[in-house]
């Protein structure tokens, strides 16, 4: 049975609570990752940030009340994105979300497939005693499933 520890990515790019939104965007752009775990000094997992979360601060809070916005063509002053948000105002802890799913390194490949499908997520942090030891992305999954059979 293939286990998580056999195919997880161990070299994980992590950020801290205080990493700014500008730096986070920089990580996404330069390292080809779509997922950043937020950890403390002892590598304890605090939360995670995906590309989706990084856009949320640009939308007013009340937007989730609107069921439909197709009738608007020009949002007027809203169109001027509040770029001051980028100037160190927003840091990782403001936009991170608590990880819905984590997994242990002894879990099976099939369990990872099932969890990813059920929660519709692309990454799962691998955690041992609250500490982050790796992540599994869908790329890791493709690699382990399809390359193994071919080799």
The answer for 120, left when phi > 0, alpha when psi is -120 to 50, beta otherwise, is left
What would the two tokens of residue 71 be?
A: 């009738």
Residue whose CB is less far from another protein, 70 or 118: 70
Residue 82 C-beta: closest distance to another protein, Å: 12
Min dist CB 145 to another protein, Å, is: 38
Contacting another protein (CB under 8 A), which of 1, 11, 42, 73? 73
Interacting residues of 4 by C-beta distance below 8 A, sequence separation 6+:
103, 104, 105, 106, 107, 108, 109, 112, 126, 134, 136
113-118 long-range contacts (CB < 8 A, ≥24 apart) are 113/141, 116/141
Does 84 contact another protein by CB under 8 A? no
Among 30, 41, 55, 75, binds another protein (CB under 8 A): 75
Q: Which is nearer to another protein, 32 or 70 (CB)?
A: 70
**Contact flag: residue 80 with another protein (CB under 8 A):** no
Tokens of residue 97, six digits:
């979300």
DSSP helix/strand/coil, 39: strand
Please answer whether residues 98 and 50 qualify as being in contact, where contact means their C-beta atoms are separated by less than 8 angstroms.
no
Minimum distance from CB of 11 to another protein (Å)?
40
- Residue 41 as a binder of another protein (CB under 8 A): the answer is no
> Does 82 interact with another protein (rule: CB under 8 A)?
no
Q: Which of 68, 83, 120, 129 contacts another protein by CB under 8 A?
A: 68
Q: Are 105 and 83 in contact (CB under 8 A)?
A: no
Q: Does 42 bind another protein (CB under 8 A)?
A: no
Binding residues for another protein, rule: CB under 8 A, are: 60-62, 64-78
């Amino acid at each position: 049975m293939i286990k998580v520890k056999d195919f997880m990515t161990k070299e994980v790019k992590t950020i801290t609570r205080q990493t700014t939104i500008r730096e986070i965007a920089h990580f996404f752009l330069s390292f080809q990752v779509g997922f950043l775990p937020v950890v403390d000094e002892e590598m304890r997992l605090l939360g995670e940030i995906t590309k989706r979360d990084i856009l949320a601060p640009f939308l007013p809070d009340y937007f989730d009340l609107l069921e439909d916005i197709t009738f608007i063509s020009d949002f007027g002053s809203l169109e001027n994105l509040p770029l001051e948000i980028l100037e160190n105002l927003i840091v990782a802890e403001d936009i991170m979300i608590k990880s819905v799913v984590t997994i242990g390194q002894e879990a099976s490949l099939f369990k990872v497939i099932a969890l990813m499908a059920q929660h519709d997520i692309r990454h799962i942090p691998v955690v041992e005693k609250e500490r982050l030891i790796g992540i599994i992305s869908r790329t890791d999954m493709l690699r382990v499933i399809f390359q193994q059979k071919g080799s």
